[in-house]
Amino acid sequence: MSNQSQNLFERAQKVMPGGVNSPVRAFKSVGLTPRFIDRACGNKIYDAEGREYLDYVGSWGPMILGHADPKVIEAVQKRVEKGLSFGACTEAEVELAELITSNIDHIEMIRMVNSGTEAVMSALRLARGYSKKNKIIKFEGCYHGHSDAMLVKAGSGAMTFGDPDSAGVTKGAAEDTLLARYNDLTSVEALMRENKDDVACVIVEATAANMGVVPAAAGFLAGLRKLCDQYGALLIFDEVITGFRLAFGGAAEYFGVKPDLVTYGKIIGGGMPVGAYGGSREIMEHVSPVGSVYQAGTLSGNPIAMTAGIEALKQLLEKPEIYTQLNEMGAYLADGLREACGFTVNNIGSLTCMFYTKEPVSDYDSACKSDTAGFSHVFRELLAAGIYVAPSQYEAMFLNTAFSKEDLDFTIETYRKILTQ
């Protein structure tokens, strides 16, 4: 462990809770001091002392084109010269909105915000305001940001720390959040039936990627669509991770199921802080200033962030072969890890997760059977070998276009060596 990272962490703990600005970064669950990253390029990151790591985190998903993509960097540098923020309308926000609405058929209007959490919070308020109903159905283990109503059996950091709820969330804030089992339509239908006149929406990670990677089972999303139509509820796809990654149109395109509302983050900003929510014109025109559902943001549509997002999305549109390449690499990595390690490896597209169990993982309960102590051991050995994965069992390995077959072979062989020592 680098002395520089240790020194920085000691300084950070004096001025920031836990020394971090997001809990999973603390490396608490793996018993280490976090690495402080100085720079990145392609699929490599470099810590404060200059050590190189093969990066499977990719800023938790946004870097689908690799770190410091030359075209994105050039576009941002040119835009920065004109100023950082105006708190006013700019052409860039219109261009990004047009780019998305003209290429994703289930989005006719979109509103830019600053994070995935903000996008989800706003979409839920819109669903309630549009439907004039109160209750929300979410799924155990699915993470939708840290707004109060969503911190009920959440995934990722909440699972890592062994407490799926949060202090400070009142009973009133969570009482309208109903919990269903992921990949279990019967549990959803039961909640719909019991609350048939008051379910505003069902929100789901169309591929769960915050309890590890847990793809939607065959027919699950189509079944949700049917139930929402039957009971008059909106279907919201949380595509903060899967949006523009599984396909340009995200999981909705990949699975061929049309949601009423979609939330975005990560890739939509090209590496800058951006979130968004969108849907049909009929629903979105309930948002202020044309409708009665209030939502605002001083830095929403920031021109620097919009510019980064435009350049990233243009490349994904212009080169559809990127998705073929990423999907093939993801399948290759997953197959190699299964053969090398003998554990359950879930994969969809460029998202992969190895669970330290031999049982299938299809929902929150089965994900929780993974041996987290085993994960922590492997994580430490991987880090020592120069491979950087998320410091939590319940996160994805993200691939980007900078990865090569040699990188994947090195990773697979490193796992094999660690687990056969």
**Cβ contact 146:118 at 8 Å:** no
Q: What's the rounded Cα separation, in Å, for the pair 31 and 375?
A: 11
Q: What's the rounded Cα separation, in Å, for the pair 66 and 58?
A: 7
Give the side-chain half-sphere CA count within 13 A for 369.
11
**Cβ contact 215:251 at 8 Å:** no
Burial class (CB in 10 A: 0-12, 13-18, 19+), 81: exposed
| Sole residue written with tokens 């299809």 | 362
Average pLDDT over residues 268-290: 97
Options 53, 56, 130, 143, the catalytic residue:
143
Q: Does the annotation mark 176 as catalytic?
A: no
Burial class (CB in 10 A: 0-12, 13-18, 19+), 282: exposed
Q: Does the annotation mark 356 as catalytic?
A: no
Strands 275-279 and 344-348: unpaired
Question: What is the DSSP secondary structure assignment for residue 148, as one 8-state letter?
Answer: G
Options 28, 44, 153, 266, the catalytic residue:
266
Q: What's the rounded Cα separation, in Å, for the pair 85 and 326?
A: 34
To the nearest 10°, report the CA torsion of 101, 105, 107, 113.
Answer: -50
pLDDT digits (tens, 9 = 90+) for 320-372: 999 999 999 999 999 999 999 999 999 999 999 999 999 999 999 999 999 99
Element (H, E) at 55: strand 52-55
pTM for this one?
Answer: 0.94
- Name the pLDDT band for 2 (thresholds 50, 70, 90): low
Q: Which residues contact 332 (CB under 8 A, 6 or more apart)?
A: 405, 408
pLDDT digits (tens, 9 = 90+) for 244-253: 999 999 999 9
| Sole residue written with tokens 């994070």 | 115
Give the pLDDT of residue 175: 81
pLDDT digits (tens, 9 = 90+) for 181-194: 999 999 999 999 99
Nearest to 194 by CA among 211, 214, 181, 180: 180
Q: Does the annotation mark 258 as catalytic?
A: no
Taken in order 351, 353, 184, 218, the sign of the CA dihedral is positive
| Sole residue written with tokens 């999303």 | 221
DSSP string, 238-265: E-TTTBTTTBTTHHHHHHT---SEEEE-
How does the average pLDDT of the chain come out, rounded?
93
Nearest to 158 by CA among 172, 175, 138: 138
Options 238, 260, 363, 407, the catalytic residue:
238
For the stretch 135-169, what's the b/e string if a residue is b when 16 or more beta carbons lie within 10 angstroms of its beta carbon? bbbbbbbbbbbbbebbbbbbbbbbbbeeebebeeb
Average pLDDT over residues 283-300: 96
Backbone φ and ψ for 354, nearest 5 degrees, come out as -100, 125
Residue percentage of the chain with pLDDT more than 90: 88
